Chains A and B, each alone.
Chain A
Amino acid sequence: MKNPLLKRLPRELKSDIGKYIALFLFLSLTIAFVSGFLVADNSLKKAYDDSFEKFTVEDGHFILAQLPEDDLLSDIENEFDISIYPLYFVNGETPEGHTVRFYTQRDEVDRIDVLKGEFPEKDDEIAIDRLYAENNNISVGDIYTADKKNFKVTALTAFSDYSCLYKNNADMMFDANKFTVALVTDDAFDSLSGAVQYCYAWVDHDRDMDDTAREDKSDEIMKYIAKKAVLTDFLAQQNNHAITFTGTDMGGDKVMIQWLLYIVIIVLAFAFAVTTRSTIEQEASVIGTLRASGYTRSELLWHYIALPLLTAAAAAVVGNILGYLVTPDMMASMYLHSYSLTKYTVIWNADAFVRTTLIPLAIILLVNLVIVSVSLSLSPLQFLRRDLTRKKNRRAAKLPNWRFLSRFRTRIILQNRAAYIILFIGIFFSSVLMLFGMMFSPLMDHFKEQVVSSKFSEYQYLLRMPLETDTEGAEKYCAAALLNDNDEEITIYGIDPDSDYITGLDVSGDKVYLSDGFMEKYGIESGDNVVLHEKYSGDEYTLRVTDKYDYPATLSVFMSRETFCDMFGIDSDSFSGYFSDEKITDIDEKLIAATITEHDLTIMADQLDDSMGRLFPIFGAFSTVMFVLMMYLLSKLVIEKNTSNISMIKILGYTDREASGLYSRATWIVVVLSLLISIPLSGFTIEKIYYTMMLEYNGWLSYWVAPWVYPMIFVIGVLCFAAVSLILMKKIKRIPLAQALKNME
C-alpha cells in the first residue's frame, strides 16, 4: 500500500528548511571531521606498517668504536643468519645549533622515501627530513648551511628508520625542530668534519619471529659483538624510539574523537526528537484525523522520523565524501606535523564507515524511534481533541507567590522543560568541547613556566663515564633510569644531601622523594612502597616514599648519592654527571652523553602543543557552532509551540519587545543557569578525561585551567545566545495578531 504521507515530506522539509540545513551542515561537518580523522589514521598507519617491508626497515643497529676487522661482519651474519649493511653517519651542526645527522644513500636497508624533489647528485646538494624542513621553513631549492658548508636542498624526505626524529634513544622526547637526518653524496660525506660513527644495521632473514624471540636474538647478537669489538651503541628495532614510537602513538586519539562524534550525535538525535515531538503536538488534529482514516501508528512513526533520518543519512553520505576527499589531508597533517612518515594513499576504511555512518544513523534512529513512538502512543481520539497529556487531572505546579511575570516565565520554563533539558545537555557538551579547546595552550605555557622555574641548574650534564671537572659550582649527581609497572621510564637521582641545586630536600638516611607528577599520575601517597625494575635485567627495587618534591619536568625519584650507590651496588664515589650554572668546557664533548637544557625539559609540552595544537581551534569552532545550533533550535521550538499564546498576549496589548521579553527571557534564564551549572561540571568532566588521557602519555602535566578560561566560556555562551535572541526577536515580531484567533487548520 502506497503511503500518501510521503508526499508531505518535501513540503515539511521546505517549511522547516532552516532547521534541517543547520542540522545537516553540523552533522555532515562533524562526520567529515571524524571520518577524515579515522581514514587518515588508518591510511597513515597502513603506510607506516607497510614501510617496514617496503623500505626494508632494519631489525636493529649497532655502532662500533672503530672500523671492524675484515671478517667480523661476515662472522656475525653467518652466526645469526642476518645481513649487515653499513649505515655510517656523521653528526654536524647548523649555525642555529641544530643537529644534522649526515648519511649517504642506502639501497639495501632503511631506504628513504623522497616526498618532494630529487636525491642529491652533486657534492653541494642535500636531502633533509620533510618535517624538520617544514618546522624551519626550508623548501626544495633553498640553501641550507650545516657543518659550515652551504648545501642546496634538493629533496624533502622521510627516512624509514626515523619516522620519529629522536636524536638519541635516551631522549625524553623527539625533536623535529632542532634535529634532522640528511642525505649527501659519498664525496660530500667524506668531506664532513665530524667523526664518522661506524653504524651497522642488520636485517634478519627470519621474518616470522615473535617479539620475545627477536628480543632474545638481539641480546645474543649484542653479546657476540661485545666480545669481538668495542660497541658504543646497540639498539634493536623494538627498542628504537625513532622507529617504533610513531606506531605506538598512532591511533591514540581515535577513541576520543569517536566519542566526540557519538556525544554530538546523541545530542543532535535528541534535538531532532524534541523538535519532532513539538511538530507532533502542533499537528495533533491532523494525526488524529489520519489515525481515524486508517493510518497506522507505525506509518505515522516512520513519517515523522523520516526527515531526521534522511537528513542524517544525507549528512553521513556528504560527511563521508568530504571525509575521503577533503579532510584526510587536514587530519593527516596532525600526524605529519609530529612524524616523518613515508607517502600514504587514502584507503577505504570499513571500520570508519561503520563508526561514522551506520552507528550515528542507528543512534538517531533509536532515539527518535523511542521518543516519537511514545509521543504517538496516545489514542487517535486524544490527538483529535489535542488532549496530549498522559495524566488525567494533571495540575499545574504550584508556584510561590512571586510577581506575575516571574510566575509566567517560570511556567514557560516548566511547560517546555523537555526542550530546555536538551538545551542544557547541548550547552553542557558544548562547554566540555570549548573547555577542551581552550585549556591546553595555557596549560602547556603554565607547565613550561613551572619547569623552567624549577629546573636544577642552567646546565645538566650526563657523562659517558665519571670524569672530574674544574668548573666552579659544578656538583656531582648520580642518575639511572628504571621502569615502573607500566613500563614508564622513571629517572632516579642520587644527590648530595647539602646540594646547592636541589634545595629544601632532606635526603639524609634512606629518605626517598618522588616528583609530584609521579605521585599524582600513579596516585602514590607518602609512606607507600614503589616498585621499579631494570629494563633489561628485570632487577626489582622497592622504595618507600618519604614525601613528594615539586619537580614537574620528569617522573623522578630523589635520594642521596649514598643511598643511590647502595641501591645499585656501585662505588660510593661513582657519579653520572654534573649540575652546573656554568658551561663545562674541560670535558671532551664526545664523553658527554647528553646535556639537558631548558629545551629538553619543555620538549614534551612543546611537542604536545605542536601535535595537538591544531585540534584546539577546531574544538573551539565546533563547540561555538554547537552552542548556537542548540540554542537556536530549541528556543525556536519554544516560540513555535507558543505561537498562539504570543499572539494572544499581543492582542492583550503587549508590544513585540514585551512579548519577546517574556518568552526569550525565559530562555535567557535557562541559558544562563545552564552555563553556570555546565561550566564547573565540564571542568569536572574534563579533569577526569584529562587524567585518563595523560596516563597514555609518558611523563605528566598536572591539570591546570587558566583563570580566564571559565569566564571566557560563559561570555561566549552568552554572546551566542544574544545573537540567537536577535533572530528569535524577528520571529516573534512576525507572529500575526490574528494567529490566536485562527482555527488550527
Chain B
Amino acid sequence: MAKTIIQMINIIKRYYIGQPNELQILNGISLDIHEGEFVSIVGASGSGKSTLMNMIGALDRPTEGEYFLDGTDISRLNDKQLSNIRNQKIGFVFQTFNLISRTNALKNVELPMMYAGVPRKERSRRAMELLELVGMKDRYTHQPNELSGGQKQRVAIARAMANDPAIILADEPTGALDTKTGHLVMNIFHKLHKQEGKTIVLITHSPELASETERIITISDGSVISDTLENTAENAGAENTEVSGE
C-alpha cells in the first residue's frame, strides 16, 4: 500500500461561528488519499466539495478535526506555514486558469519557482521542460491573452507542476473548456498520473469526468456519501495519454 498523502479525520467546517446565521458546511469528513492516486471528488452545487477542496489545498483551516498533508498537521499551521505548504506540496489547477496577465507562459510557469527561490537558469530550464510536457513549448513567449482556453489550462497545469508538488489539486479544470479541449486537458492529467506518478485530486460536478479517475468520492450536504474505486491505476485513461496541440 502506498503511503497516505492526505489524511482527514472528522473534518468540520463552520462559518459565522457564534452568530445566528452559523453555517456548518462540512460535517465530520474523514478520508485518506494515498500517494499516486487519481481521485475525483464529486457533488452537486452547495454540497461542500469546494470547501473540502479549500481544506485539502491548505487554502483554509478546518474548524474541527485533523488534517495531515504528507504527514504535516495542517490544522495547526499559521498563514505563513500554510503558504509554504501550498508552495511546496500542492499544485493548483483552476477552472478559470488564473494565469497572470501581461506575463508570458514561461514566466507564469516559473512563478512558483521564483517564490521558492529556484535560481533563474534552473527555473527556466524546468519551466521549458514542463511546457514541453503539456505540449506548449512552442508558445512559451505567448501572453495569456494570446492563448486559447485549452492552451491556458495546459500552461496552468505546467505551473501546477513547477515545484514538483506532492499533489495536484484541480478544481473543475475542464469547466471552461469545450468537450474536445476538455479531453485534451484530462489526457495531460492522465499522463502526469501515469508517467510522473503524481497524486491528482480532481474536483468536479461531472460524473463523466469523474468516471475517468481511479476513485470517486461523492459529497452531499457536507458528508461523504460514497467512496468507490472505478478504475485501476493500470487502465485509468491509458488509451488517451497522447497530448497534441490545438
A binds B: yes
B116 & A294 in contact (Cβ 8 Å cutoff): yes
Chain B residues with CB under 8 Å of A294's CB are 83-84, 86-88, 112, 115-116
A2 & B94 in contact (Cβ 8 Å cutoff): no
A2 & B114 in contact (Cβ 8 Å cutoff): yes
Q: Which of A280-335 contact B (CB under 8 A)?
A: 285-286, 288-298
Interface assignment of A4: CB less than 8 Å from any CB of chain B: yes
Q: Which of B52-60, B191-199, B227-235 lines the interface with chain A?
A: B52-60
A286 & B100 in contact (Cβ 8 Å cutoff): yes
A4 & B114 in contact (Cβ 8 Å cutoff): yes
Interface assignment of B97: CB less than 8 Å from any CB of chain A: yes
Known: A292-B86, A294-B116. A4 touches B111 (CB 8 A): yes
A379 to B54 Cα, complex, angstroms:
9
Q: Which of B18-65 contact A (CB under 8 A)?
A: 21, 23, 50, 53-54, 57, 59-60
B94 & A293 in contact (Cβ 8 Å cutoff): no
Chain B residues with CB under 8 Å of A285's CB are 96, 98
A745 & B87 in contact (Cβ 8 Å cutoff): no
Q: Mark B106-127, 1 if CB is under 8 A from A, else 0.
A: 0000011011110000000000
Chain A residues with CB under 8 Å of B100's CB are 286, 289-290, 745
A745 & B112 in contact (Cβ 8 Å cutoff): no
A380 & B59 in contact (Cβ 8 Å cutoff): yes
Chain A residues with CB under 8 Å of B144's CB are 743, 745
A288 & B98 in contact (Cβ 8 Å cutoff): yes
Interface assignment of B79: CB less than 8 Å from any CB of chain A: yes
A745 & B152 in contact (Cβ 8 Å cutoff): yes
Interface assignment of A392: CB less than 8 Å from any CB of chain B: yes
A3 to B92 Cα, complex, angstroms:
20
A390 CB to nearest chain B CB (Å): 11
Known: A291-B83, A294-B84, A745-B144. A1 touches B59 (CB 8 A): no
A293 & B60 in contact (Cβ 8 Å cutoff): no
Chain A residues with CB under 8 Å of B92's CB are 289, 292-293
Interface assignment of A403: CB less than 8 Å from any CB of chain B: no
Chain B residues with CB under 8 Å of A4's CB are 111, 114-115
Interface assignment of A734: CB less than 8 Å from any CB of chain B: no
B15 & A392 in contact (Cβ 8 Å cutoff): yes
Chain B residues with CB under 8 Å of A290's CB are 100, 111
Chain A residues with CB under 8 Å of B117's CB are 1-2
B60 CB to nearest chain A CB (Å): 5
B98 & A1 in contact (Cβ 8 Å cutoff): no
B87 & A293 in contact (Cβ 8 Å cutoff): yes
A288 to B96 Cα, complex, angstroms:
11
A742 to B57 Cα, complex, angstroms:
28
Chain B residues with CB under 8 Å of A670's CB are none
Instruction: Give B57's nearest chain A residue, CB to CB.
Output: A292
A367 CB to nearest chain B CB (Å): 22
Interface assignment of B145: CB less than 8 Å from any CB of chain A: yes
B136 CB to nearest chain A CB (Å): 15
Tell which of A1, A289, A392 has the most Cβ of chain B within 10 Å. Answer: A289
B115 & A289 in contact (Cβ 8 Å cutoff): no
Known: A292-B86, A295-B83, A392-B15. A11 touches B102 (CB 8 A): yes
Q: Mark A374-403, 1 if CB is under 8 A from B, else 0.
A: 000001110010000000100000000000
Chain B residues with CB under 8 Å of A744's CB are 96, 101
Instruction: Give B163's nearest chain A residue, CB to CB.
Output: A294
B15 & A745 in contact (Cβ 8 Å cutoff): no
A292 to B85 Cα, complex, angstroms:
10
Instruction: Give B94's nearest chain A residue, CB to CB.
Output: A384
A36 CB to nearest chain B CB (Å): 41
Known: A379-B60, A392-B15. A295 touches B115 (CB 8 A): yes
Interface assignment of B128: CB less than 8 Å from any CB of chain A: no
Q: Which of A565-612 contact B (CB under 8 A)?
A: none
Chain B residues with CB under 8 Å of A379's CB are 54, 59-60
Chain B residues with CB under 8 Å of A292's CB are 57, 59, 86, 90, 92, 94, 98
A742 to B101 Cα, complex, angstroms:
12
Contact of A293 among B16, B79, B97, B115 (CB under 8 A): B115
Q: Which of B63-105 contact A (CB under 8 A)?
A: 79-80, 83-84, 86-88, 90, 92, 94, 96-102
A596 CB to nearest chain B CB (Å): 74
Chain A residues with CB under 8 Å of B88's CB are 294
A152 CB to nearest chain B CB (Å): 73
B26 CB to nearest chain A CB (Å): 14
A294 to B145 Cα, complex, angstroms:
24
Known: A381-B50, A392-B15, A745-B99. A291 touches B115 (CB 8 A): no
Chain A residues with CB under 8 Å of B90's CB are 292
A286 & B112 in contact (Cβ 8 Å cutoff): no
Instruction: Give B60's nearest chain A residue, CB to CB.
Output: A379
Chain B residues with CB under 8 Å of A3's CB are 115
A289 & B98 in contact (Cβ 8 Å cutoff): yes
A286 & B98 in contact (Cβ 8 Å cutoff): yes
A381 & B79 in contact (Cβ 8 Å cutoff): no
A1 to B115 Cα, complex, angstroms:
7
Known: A11-B102, A289-B98, A745-B99. A296 touches B79 (CB 8 A): yes
B86 CB to nearest chain A CB (Å): 5
B54 & A293 in contact (Cβ 8 Å cutoff): no
A289 to B109 Cα, complex, angstroms:
12
Chain A residues with CB under 8 Å of B21's CB are 392
Chain A residues with CB under 8 Å of B114's CB are 2, 4
B50 & A293 in contact (Cβ 8 Å cutoff): no
Known: A2-B114, A296-B80, A392-B23. A291 touches B101 (CB 8 A): no
Instruction: Give B96's nearest chain A residue, CB to CB.
Output: A285
B243 CB to nearest chain A CB (Å): 22
Chain A residues with CB under 8 Å of B152's CB are 745
A656 CB to nearest chain B CB (Å): 24
B239 CB to nearest chain A CB (Å): 32
A295 to B59 Cα, complex, angstroms:
11
B62 CB to nearest chain A CB (Å): 13
B111 & A745 in contact (Cβ 8 Å cutoff): no
Chain B residues with CB under 8 Å of A381's CB are 50, 53-54, 57, 59-60
Q: Mark B128-169, 1 if CB is under 8 A from A, else 0.
A: 000000000000000011000000100000010000000000
Tell which of B21, B59, B90 has the most Cβ of chain A within 10 Å. Answer: B59
A745 & B79 in contact (Cβ 8 Å cutoff): no
Chain A residues with CB under 8 Å of B101's CB are 286, 744-745
Tell which of B83, B88, B99 has the most Cβ of chain A within 10 Å. Answer: B83
**Which 8 A-B pairs have CB atoms at the shortest separation, nearest pair first?**
A294-B87, A4-B114, A289-B98, A745-B144, A296-B83, A380-B59, A292-B92, A293-B112
A-B contact pairs, 17 of them (CB 8 A): A1-B115, A1-B116, A1-B117, A4-B114, A288-B98, A289-B99, A291-B59, A294-B112, A294-B115, A297-B83, A379-B59, A381-B53, A381-B54, A384-B98, A743-B96, A745-B99, A745-B100
Residues of B within 8 A of A (CB): 15-16, 21, 23, 50, 53-54, 57, 59-60, 79-80, 83-84, 86-88, 90, 92, 94, 96-102, 111-112, 114-117, 144-145, 152, 159
Residues of A within 8 A of B (CB): 1-4, 11, 285-286, 288-298, 379-381, 384, 392, 742-745
Q: Kindly list 8 other residue pairs between chains A and B, CB separation below 8 angstroms, not including A292-B90, A293-B86.
A: A4-B111, A11-B102, A286-B100, A297-B79, A298-B80, A381-B54, A381-B60, A745-B145
